[in-house]
Structure 1
Amino acid sequence: METERVDLISGLPFEVLRRIVSFLPLKEAVRTSVLSTLWSGLWKPVQVNMEADSNENLAREMARFLRSREGPQQWKFHLKIREKDGLKMEDDLMFAATMGAEEELHLDFFGGIRTRDNFDLTLESSCLSPSKYSCLKTLHLRSANRFFQRLVSNLFSNFQFLESLRLENCCGLENVDIKANGYLQRFAMVDCPETASITLSALNLKSFRYRGALPLIQLKNSPDLVDVILDLREGPGQIEFDCEDVLPLLESLRDIETLTISSWLLEWLCTGGVIFGRLQFQFNRLKELRWVGPQIDQPKRDSLACFLDILPVLERLLLTIDQSCRQFQRPFFIQYWHEPHLWTENSTAESNASQLNHLEVVRLVGFTDTEDELLLMDHLLKRAFTAKSMILTSPGNRSWWVAKIPCSQMKQTSRCHSKHIGISFPDKRYFFGLREQRE
């Protein structure tokens, strides 16, 4: 007869359970809410009412309140500002706050005033004594609108040791200007559709990640930046595309080590007259490039080949064909000059291309066996003659190692390797041999 299992942990006092959860990272801590009704009770928001005569004093009271609490916990704030900053009496401010164990705070401005009015957000670290303020390290702001902009600005100035800042789904947010102290290392901005400009000054910044439509981005005083994601899946947005606005951004990224970039940006720069090989800078430290686009056609293939000319130490090239990405119609450009191989035969392009002497790994995800994909594979194999591997992955998640096989050896190779698949190169000189990759 089996001994009945006793749930000793759930029988512990509520405060002891809260103490146990306090040692977990926030994501894992929140997952405990599905264990039982008792555990979910740990995450029942506590109502907090605050009143002050200004946004500055309200932010100071919130910082003092949060500093006195240990995470993880969740609160629902209901705020009143007596001066009201022009708001009506019924326009109280409400939002949710979740604190994690590792000095992590999430603010979700879900309630109160609903508005699509545009606004700017200026965040600047305070020079006041850090001993008086919170030691928060991670701040995540979601769905902020213009009625919270002064509150958020004052909160930010109170967090002297902030290392990570994330803005998400902030509708109406047009211009972001952040002047951080030497602690901020990571910045992310995701799905803020009205954003027109981002200006960020952070001396110790190491990671910059952006997802949305292309804004004007200015990164200042960030010599230690190493990782950048420019996920521009929403295209150029409402602004008129200008190569002269994008090139200063690329130059400010010249010392990074990893870059994720949307295919349309390179394509538009290239068709807009930018000759990458003639720019006054190169990416002399870039080791990994992640390229994402809806397909590989001739303009995308050629613009990528051009961009590779200024990546002299590239080690890993990861190409992702994501058919969920949108295809953007190129604007009409007056072209005064251009990369040679966009106007001439492919053989001329090959002679002008630089060698990728450090490239070790090439991976193409979403391979569909189009002619432009095969031409790109051939181009990369010629330029990266020391590459250790080229791997193709189909939309069905099957993967193959790639090798070039002369037509005269194709039958012999097929007999020796049952897992080989031969794909004919467009000019019929040789085949690409695909050997299935096993887990």
Structure 2
Amino acid sequence: MEDNNKLDLMSDLPCEILRHIISFLPLKEAVRSTSVLSTTWRQLLAPLSVNLEPNTKGIANIQQVLGRFLRSYVSHERLKLISFRAAGDDDGEDLKDDVGLIAMATKGVEKELHLHFMENSRKSRTIDHGFHLKMQQTLVLGNVQSFSSLKTLHLRSVDHHATRLVSDLFACCRRLESLTLEKCGGLEDLHVEGCNSLQSLTILDCGDIVSITICARNLKSFSYRGVLPRMQLQSASDLVEANLDFRYGVGGNEFDLEEVLCLLDSLKEVQILTLCGWLLEWMCTAGVIFGRLEFQFNKLKKLCWFSSSMDRAKRDSLACFLNMCPLLEKLLVQMDQSFSSFPCPFFHQHWHEPHLWMDYEMVKSNTSQLKHLKIFELSGFSSDDSELLLMELLLNKAVVLESMIVT
């Protein structure tokens, strides 16, 4: 039989079997794959719409709906939560114009829930509201039991309307291992505590964030992308990997050197660390000499450094930082012109003493030997003198270097 005459026998299988097949795929891959296949496959993860009843308490209503949705994790499923304006609130417009999507919920067989909040009416976001979000596990009775077995929770576009709902749901997640907050506009203060099962925390592109406080004693991985906020990581001695992606600079926040030093001190036990070039440059310009600090990264095995480009100040501040990484084995340097650059401000007071003015030979003599560095990778190479001198420095100091990859 020729190819153009072949039948799609798999698509003719019962929906129950097809759902079982895609349940073997990771949730994100299942959603992506079924969206580009035939209509039969797309319908497998087509969201089921649930109309929330008017004249009811919104938070309790949504909790009940999500509770029923999460009673089992046999297959990947999607749920669309829709609200209608109560009849008594009608201002003369057609009811159909007041239909609003509150949230899209997607659950996976590995006990994960992705909850994407959206507008619940055409007029709900005429004004941006700054809000605080406190996520704390408590022993309050009456929690939704269906959430107690949830392991992964991904929250997107949480706004001030949803803070109580999110806080209440988080309080129910007794076995939660992974939490992600993404693009939560208006979120100014985040406080997460009391979740001993939490091992991974990710915060992405919450552009209004000012303060973050995390207390999760068993946290293993922390990843942040956004502006530099006031950030406290308490009881972080078990943390293995930290990604501090401050690619948007300080935003409207103030650069507080002591707070940044306290943050790095709380991360001193990590084995994998990601930092941006402008942060080290600003710290060194303010007079910080990393080798003189009271702490070191004695367990750090892998350091990832990224910036829009490499210049003398960024090169020398990176060299200075390497002095506090005695067991470093792998160094990744990435230059990407799509990243923003941030001119260094003038500092009136200095932590130790200014030192970025030193010539290259002085920098080289002040850089400790990297006795364990085996791998160096540089991407975005532009043949700049600072890049070449950094390579020369590492060839001189990394006495056991096995691989240098430049692209």
Cα–Cα, structure 1 residues 68 and 364, in superposed 2: closer, same or farther, change >3 Å? same
CA contact (8 A) 2:236 2:267 kept: no
Partners of 1:65 and 1:203 lie apart in 2 by 31
1:409 corresponding residue in structure 2? none
* Greater mean deviation of Cα atoms: 236-245 or 341-350: 341-350
Is the partner of 1:290 in helix, strand or coil? strand
In the TM superposition, 1:13-412 aligns within 5 A as 13-30=14-31, 31-51=33-53, 54=57, 57-58=60-61, 60-70=63-73, 71-79=75-83, 94-112=102-120, 113-114=124-125, 115-127=127-139, 132-134=145-147, 135-336=149-350, 338=352, 341-393=355-407
The alpha carbon displacement at 1:279 in A equals: 0.7
* Post-superposition CA distance 1:339-361 (Å, at most 9, x none): 67524333333332211100111
CA contact (8 A) 1:58 1:151 kept: no
Partners of 2:253 and 2:228 lie apart in 1 by 8
* Code of the aligned partner of 1:227: E
Partners of 1:91 and 1:154 lie apart in 2 by 25
Partners of 1:337 and 1:159 lie apart in 2 by 43
Cα–Cα, structure 1 residues 271 and 67, in superposed 2: closer, same or farther, change >3 Å? same
Is the partner of 1:183 in helix, strand or coil? coil
* Code of the aligned partner of 2:225: R
Partners of 2:350 and 2:45 lie apart in 1 by 62
CA contact (8 A) 1:166 1:189 kept: yes
Structure 2 spans left out of the alignment, 5+ residues: 87-94
* Greater mean deviation of Cα atoms: 26-35 or 300-309: 26-35
* Greater mean deviation of Cα atoms: 9-18 or 138-147: 9-18
1:405 corresponding residue in structure 2? none
TM-score (norm 2): 0.89
* Code of the aligned partner of 1:39: W
The alpha carbon displacement at 1:48 in A equals: 1.3
Cα–Cα, structure 1 residues 58 and 222, in superposed 2: closer, same or farther, change >3 Å? farther
* Greater mean deviation of Cα atoms: 135-144 or 110-119: 110-119
CA contact (8 A) 1:80 1:92 kept: yes
* Greater mean deviation of Cα atoms: 374-383 or 240-249: 374-383
Is the partner of 2:323 in helix, strand or coil? helix
Is the partner of 2:18 in helix, strand or coil? helix
The alpha carbon displacement at 1:2 in A equals: 4.2
* Code of the aligned partner of 1:168: E
TM-score (norm 1): 0.82
* Code of the aligned partner of 1:67: L
* Code of the aligned partner of 1:125: Q
Is the partner of 2:134 in helix, strand or coil? strand
The alpha carbon displacement at 1:177 in A equals: 0.4
Partners of 2:58 and 2:260 lie apart in 1 by 37
Cα–Cα, structure 1 residues 237 and 180, in superposed 2: closer, same or farther, change >3 Å? same
Aligned-pair RMSD on alpha carbons?
Answer: 2.4
2:92 corresponding residue in structure 1? none
Cα–Cα, structure 1 residues 131 and 171, in superposed 2: closer, same or farther, change >3 Å? closer
Cα–Cα, structure 1 residues 301 and 223, in superposed 2: closer, same or farther, change >3 Å? same
CA contact (8 A) 1:98 1:106 kept: yes
CA contact (8 A) 1:201 1:222 kept: yes
Cα–Cα, structure 1 residues 375 and 174, in superposed 2: closer, same or farther, change >3 Å? same
CA contact (8 A) 2:196 2:218 kept: yes
Structure 1 spans left out of the alignment, 5+ residues: 83-88, 394-439
The alpha carbon displacement at 1:322 in A equals: 0.7
Partners of 2:332 and 2:205 lie apart in 1 by 24
Cα–Cα, structure 1 residues 22 and 11, in superposed 2: closer, same or farther, change >3 Å? same
* Greater mean deviation of Cα atoms: 72-81 or 139-148: 72-81
Cα–Cα, structure 1 residues 63 and 128, in superposed 2: closer, same or farther, change >3 Å? farther
Cα–Cα, structure 1 residues 13 and 329, in superposed 2: closer, same or farther, change >3 Å? same
Cα–Cα, structure 1 residues 29 and 221, in superposed 2: closer, same or farther, change >3 Å? same
CA contact (8 A) 2:329 2:374 kept: yes
Cα–Cα, structure 1 residues 336 and 122, in superposed 2: closer, same or farther, change >3 Å? closer
2:89 corresponding residue in structure 1? none
Higher-Rg structure is 1
The alpha carbon displacement at 1:60 in A equals: 4.1
Cα–Cα, structure 1 residues 81 and 181, in superposed 2: closer, same or farther, change >3 Å? farther
Is the partner of 1:10 in helix, strand or coil? helix
CA contact (8 A) 2:136 2:167 kept: yes
